[in-house]
Amino acid sequence: MMRALQPVRGTQDLLPEAARRHRRVIEAARAAAELYGFAEMATPIFEFTEVFARPIGEHTDIVAKEMYTFADRGGEEVTLRPENTAGVVRAVISNGLAQSVPLKFFYSGPMFRYERPQKGRFRQFHQIGVELIGVAEPQADIEVIALGNRILDTLAVGERVVLELNTLGDPESRAAYREALVSYFTARVAELSEDSRRRLQFNPMRIFDSKDATDQRVASDAPAFADYLNAESRRLFDRVRDGLDRLGIDHRLNPRLVRGLDYYTHTAFEFVTTDLGAQGTVMGGGRYDGLVEMMGGPAMPGVGWAAGIERLGMLIDEPPGLRRPIAVVPIGEAGEAAALTLAEVLRNNGCAVDLGYSGNLARRMRRANRVNARVAVLIGEDEIVRNVVALRDLDSGEQSEVPMDPSLSALQARLQVFYS
């Protein structure tokens, strides 16, 4: 088979079963977001590269190794979005929304990263997410976490995940901690991987994100961030934890949780599971108080999260399929026109209808069984003359006749028996 007829590595076709899982996740998230006053929005799938490069971090793996960046026909350098927070902030600035805070947005859609495909992780993947911009109080952190928790509970996966929580402090705390980390890791630099040696130069906290076993062993003895938090950072984090306790949202502290993007400050969190192997994060986010200003807007706080639709789709129960349709089956040439009209009238009345397109009666009935129709409505020349249709129960095989009238009231009444 030609390579062009295969999906590109790290991408997938969303066939009906997978599409139902995606839709279930998105619809549950959208409905929950509305309860919290989050309005849906969408940003372009690609942006100018600088929208992502500086906010995410020039030396992060995402920018250095994973972004799909290219020059378009006009010579502009653009990037397929690897995440959506930076795009949402760009939209806030470019649309002049910064004067209308607080802003509460929900989104869903595809993201793109060139990385090694693995279970639940693709090069084109899909996310749901929320952003709450313009609220410095810890109630914002609590609310977005509570919303995420509600979505997971709605999808019946709440018992399969654990909320992990950490604080990355304010710039003053981060500077003090960075100095301590540089001192610690420099003393053991010979033990670090090449990637972590590079991280040590630009952002030593990112060493905690390393999947290298030796890096993890070295990092396990590193200084704790809690020892370098100033009073204000500690107070904000304590209030977030107290709020989660009041709402009955269990969590555990993970002092090594740093997230993968450079713009995070203060609260960082992940909902993790052991049911998807090593890559167990299904939802993660945190506070990004300096991001809007970094991107050219006014100084204002923000907090949000994103969740992988593919990963959540793997955890949820199989959503119900399409409602079993009514198969309208014409018999002979005389039944074709009548069946076409009847099918559309039934659809106008809210019925899901599959119309047999061609073939003899046996072939059309095989199709009715293949699409899992509940009942077949047969109409041919004899039925037209007598102003009736034949109704066949496809589960029991029983068949009866139903008189036709302009309003289809008799047929509708009989069909309700099959769908009650």
Predicted pLDDT of residue 116 = 76
Q: What is the pLDDT of residues 239-275, one digit of tens each?
A: 999 999 999 999 999 988 876 566 688 999 999 998 8
| Residue range(s) of every CATH 3.40.50.800 domain in the chain | 326-419
| Residue range(s) of every CATH 3.30.930.10 domain in the chain | 3-170+230-315
Q: Which of the residue ranges 12-16, 211-215, 245-249 has the most confident prediction, judged by mean pLDDT?
A: 245-249
Predicted pLDDT of residue 208 = 85
Return the CATH class of domain 3-170+230-315: alpha beta
Q: What is the pLDDT of residues 125-154, one digit of tens each?
A: 999 999 999 999 999 999 999 999 999 999
Nearest Cα neighbor of 13 from 310, 311, 279 is 310
Q: pLDDT over 70 for what percent of the chain? A: 95
- DSSP letter string over 352-403? -EEE--SS-HHHHHHHHHHTT-SEEEEEEHHHHHHTEEEEEETTT--EEEEE
- Position 203 pLDDT exceeds 90: no
Q: Average pLDDT, stretch 223-229?
A: 88
388 backbone dihedrals φ, ψ, rounded to 5°: -140, 170
Least confident of 149-163, 232-246, 309-323: 309-323
Note whether 168 and 226 are within 8 A (CB): no
In whole angstroms, give the CA distance from residue 416 to residue 195: 65
Place of tokens 């006053």: 37
The fold for domain 326-419 equals Rossmann fold (3.40.50)
Predicted pLDDT of residue 279 = 56
Q: Which of the residue ranges 20-34, 51-65, 362-376 has the most confident prediction, judged by mean pLDDT?
A: 20-34
Side chain identity, residue 390? A
